[in-house]
């Protein structure tokens, strides 16, 4: 069992004398972290950008990668590390925040 997923076994049918089990894959919840930027403190979801792009939590982004991602328009499809993704408003905000936090 990995840290990103855990398994939960649920009982499918109690009416029959036999038990059927359904294994459901559940993602672990995001951990929140306090970040200070220009004197303001706010909470962010740790690893949200990595999860959105489908890279492992141990991955480290470079500034140039994030700058290329920031140039992609909302609604356009792109490939990142061999995975096809679609740029959403939320993903664009996460990329922008990542760049801003890199600069500080």
Domain boundaries, the chain: 31-103
Residues 6+ apart with CB under 8 A from 74: 87, 88, 89, 92
pLDDT of residue 39: 87
Tell me the pTM: 0.69
Per-residue pLDDT of the chain (104 residues; tens, 9 = 90+): 444 444 444 444 444 444 444 445 556 677 888 988 888 898 989 999 999 999 999 999 999 999 999 999 999 999 999 999 999 999 999 999 999 999 86
pLDDT of residue 30: 78
């Amino acid at each position: 069992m990995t840290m990103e997923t855990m398994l939960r076994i649920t009982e499918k049918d109690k009416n029959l004398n036999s038990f059927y089990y359904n294994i459901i894959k559940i993602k672990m919840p995001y951990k929140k972290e306090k970040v200070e930027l220009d004197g303001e403190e706010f909470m962010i979801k740790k690893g949200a950008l990595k999860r959105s792009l489908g890279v492992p939590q141990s991955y480290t982004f470079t500034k140039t990668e994030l700058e290329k991602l920031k140039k992609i328009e909302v609604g356009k499809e792109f490939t990142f590390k061999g995975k096809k993704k679609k740029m959403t408003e939320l993903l664009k905000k996460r990329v922008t925040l990542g760049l801003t936090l890199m600069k500080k």
